[in-house]
Every structure is written in C-alpha cells, then in structure tokens.
C-alpha cells in the first residue's frame, strides 16, 4: 500500500502506479491553473485600485469590483478542486471538467476582438486539453473507481 492524498491506494500493478502518476500530474496542472487565477485576482485588484479614482463613475467601480469577485471565486473553486484531486474525490473530476469548458470559452474570447491575444489562447487551450485528457485517461478513471476507505462513507460514521 502507498499513500496519496491521505488515502491508502493499492500499489499492485503497473496500472495503479501509472494512475497515481497521472493523477499527480493532473493535480500539478490544476494547481498551476488555480495559482494563475490567484495571480489574475491580484492583478485585477491592482488594476481596479489604479484606475478608479474620485472622478470615476459608480458603474465603473461596480463593474471592477464584480470582476474581482468573480475571478476570486473562480480561483477559490479551482483551488478546492485541486485539493479534491489530491484526495481522490470523485466530485473534483466533474468540477474540473466544468472549469475546463469555461476555460475553453475564455480562450476563444481571448482569440477574438480588435487585438487577439494568441499566446493566452494557446496556453489556455493546451492546458484544458491536457487536463481533460488526463481526467478521461483509463488509469486515472481506474484510480477513482477504487473503493474508498470505510471512514469516508457516511453510513460507516453513523
């Protein structure tokens, strides 16, 4: 038995080992995405504070605050999902797939407009494709299909 994310995982077979390695890589990618969102949150706050002054309209201030809140909530959501992946929680897989769909939409938006940012588009798309490929890979799916310890089942704690 080996321990990953606080749980004992059977270490028998090459598939279990590759599942743990791919899940670790999945965790690293999702944690990097979460860290990037925290950086984007800090950047949004600095932009908001730098551009808003006494002469700005109240609507501009409301929009800036709303943007910061949305980015911070997304960063918190993705951080929680990364922790869920580290602990091999099934709900984290669905959460991360949902985020990757949103990330693809953000990438498409970055590619459009007057000044498209192709670097951001490529990075976001590559990351989303890699994460979804890892989540849907057979070894990672098999790792999540293993029985969880008895203490994690609600009926065992009753």
Q: Which residues pair with 3 in a beta bridge?
A: 8
Q: How large is the average pLDDT for residues 135-155? A: 70
Give the three-state DSSP class for 62.
helix
Give the three-state DSSP class for 10.
coil
HEC assignment per residue over 64-126 = HHHHHHHHHHHHHHHHHHHHHHHCCCHHHHHHHHHHHHHHHHHHHHHCCCCCCCHHHHHHHHH
**4 φ, ψ to 5°?**
-140, 120
Name the band, by pLDDT with cuts 50, 70 and 90, for residue 158. low
**pTM across the whole model:** 0.78
Q: How large is the average pLDDT for residues 122-137? A: 96
Q: How large is the average pLDDT for residues 135-158? A: 68
Q: Percent of the chain scored above 70 by pLDDT? A: 82
136-112-67 Cα angle (round to 5):
80
pLDDT digits (tens, 9 = 90+) for 71-91: 999 999 999 999 999 999 989
Q: How large is the average pLDDT for residues 52-77? A: 85
Q: How large is the average pLDDT for residues 144-151? A: 58
């Amino acid at each position: 038995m080996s321990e990953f994310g606080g749980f004992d995982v059977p270490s028998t077979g090459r598939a279990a080992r590759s599942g743990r390695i791919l899940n670790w890589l999945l965790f690293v990618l999702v944690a990097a995405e979460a860290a990037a969102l925290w950086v984007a949150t800090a950047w949004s706050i600095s932009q908001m504070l730098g551009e808003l002054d006494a002469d700005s309209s109240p609507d501009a201030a409301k929009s800036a605050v709303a943007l910061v809140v949305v980015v911070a909530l997304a960063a918190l959501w993705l951080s929680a999902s990364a922790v869920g992946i580290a602990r091999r929680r099934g709900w984290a897989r669905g959460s991360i797939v949902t985020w990757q769909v949103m990330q693809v939409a953000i990438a498409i938006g970055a590619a459009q407009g007057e000044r498209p940012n192709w670097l951001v588009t490529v990075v976001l798309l590559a990351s989303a494709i890699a994460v979804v490929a890892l989540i849907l890979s057979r070894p990672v799916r098999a790792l999540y299909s293993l029985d969880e310890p008895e203490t994690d089942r609600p009926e065992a704690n009753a």
